[in-house]
Structure formats: structure tokens, C-alpha cells
Amino acid sequence: MNRAGTLLIALLVACPAAALAADEDAALAKACPGLAAWAAGHPHGSDVAAAADAGRPVSQPSLRQALATRAAADTRARDAMMAKGAPDPAAMKAILDIDSGNLAWLKGVVARQGFPTVAQVGKQGVADAWLLVQHADRDSAFQLEVLRTLQARGAEAGVRKQDLAMLTDRVLLGQGKPQRYGTQFKPDAHGALAMQPVEDATELDARRAKVGLMPLPLYRCVLGASYHMPVAH
């Protein structure tokens, strides 16, 4: 896989939810009929986290702030890449540098005290930590370690089902296996975004719905409109 293809895998993460919080939400809704209705029934992760965290004390506010700062840098770098409308070497390097720094820092946190909990950093802090793990593709063993931790914590993990699904797909692909939920795409030989191999494709949309992911046709539309690239079907 070439460097551009590898990076675009790292780029394609929580695009649908994040996109509706950005300035281009109206354009996306226009480009993808049904998106606004779907989003109305699936509240944005940040909105849900903010409501859950309202008035909640956390035991490690400095860690919570550090996670927020690093997640914001992650998002800014990816927004800058998307704004280019095409792969840009400088923007790609910026993302890789941020991901590398975030990975090293978060691994240090986990080694010292384990993966952050809701009690320590709130639901938004846990979501920010998840984002850093989701973009840690250069260390699939660490991604698997965190995924197992979150799965073991169950409802107490404070992570949405769709986020666990996306991390599951990253881990499976990192192991050379087909993904389960069809969240990960990469450019094909014709320059279109193509879904990477998936297990039991006939039941894919049913699995996606079960964890709160949007139907695949709508997801393809959002990816294409967000990244200004054709999407293979």
C-alpha cells in the first residue's frame, strides 16, 4: 500500500458525525438526501458527551485538558487536509507528525495509569482518548490493547458503540483480516475511495445499524462529499 493510501485510511474515521458539526453541514445535507434525517435521530457524539459531562467533576482535569488539546490538533490537521481537496504532501506530513506525537504520549499515559476513565476525564475526555487511538495505526498492538480494555469495561467505558465498531475495523485490518462494519475505505487504482475487505457483506448494513452507524449508501455519499473524491460501489 502506498503512503497516500495508508494516510487516507487514517483520515477516514468519524466523518459523518464530525461533518454535521462543521460549516459544510448544509452542503453535505444537500449532497446526501437523508443525511439530515439520519443525524436528527443520532445525536452528535460531542453533544451527547457535553450533556453527560455537565456538572460532572473529574478527578484528573489536567489530563482531560491535555486530551482535548491533542484531539483538537488532530482534528485541525485533518480539516486542513480535507480543505485541500486532494492529497497534499505537507498536510499529510503534518497529520503523521501529530499522530506520532499523540501515540507516544497516550502510550505513556496508559502505561502509567491505564486507559482514561469517565471518572477521571469525563465522557468527552474518553472520546478524545479514543480518537487518538483510532489514529494510531502505526501501532496496531496498542489499538488492540485499548479495544480489549474498552470491551471489558462494557457500559462503564463511556465509548459509543459506533466508536468501538470503528476501532474494531482498524484492529481487524491491522491484523490482515476483513473489517466487520465497513467503516474503512482507501483509494483504488482509479482514484476512487473503495471499501476495504469486509466479512459477510450481505449482513453488513444490519451490523452497522446495530451499533448506530449510518446505512452504507449514505456513508458512501458522505465520504465522497467530504473528501471530494468518487466512491466505488
What is the rounded CA–CA span in Å between residue 190 and residue 206?
A: 29
Output 103 or 52, whichever has higher pLDDT. 103
* Cell numbers at 88, concatenated: 497534499
What is the rounded CA–CA span in Å between residue 176 and residue 66?
A: 33
With cut-offs at 50, 70 and 90, classify the pLDDT of residue 6: very low
DSSP-derived 3-state class of residue 222: helix
What is the rounded CA–CA span in Å between residue 229 and residue 227?
A: 5
What is the rounded CA–CA span in Å between residue 174 and residue 168?
A: 10
Neighbours of 123 (CB within 10 A): 22
What is the rounded CA–CA span in Å between residue 97 and residue 77?
A: 10
Q: Specify the pLDDT at position 114.
A: 97
At a CB cut-off of 8 Å and minimum separation 6, what does 233 contact? 220
The answer as to whether 232 is a domain residue is no
Neighbours of 4 (CB within 10 A): 15
The answer as to whether 73 is a domain residue is yes
The answer as to whether 104 is a domain residue is yes
The answer as to whether 233 is a domain residue is no
Q: pLDDT tens digits, residue range 147-189?
A: 999 999 999 999 999 999 999 999 999 999 999 999 999 989 9
Domain span at residue 79? 3-227
**Contact indicator for 70, 103 with CB cutoff of 8 Å:** no
Of 78, 81, 67, 166, residue with least CA distance to 118:
67
Instruction: Give exposure, 183-212, as e/b (b: 16+ Cβ within 10 Å).
Output: bbbbbeeeeebebbebeeeeebbebbeebe
The answer as to whether 97 is a domain residue is yes
The answer as to whether 52 is a domain residue is yes
CA distances from 107 to 141, 153, 206 (A): 11, 19, 34
Q: Specify the pLDDT at position 45.
A: 64
Overall number of domains in the chain? 1
Say whether pLDDT at 87 is over 80. Answer: no
The answer as to whether 91 is a domain residue is yes
The answer as to whether 71 is a domain residue is yes
Report pTM.
0.87
**Length of the chain (residues):** 233
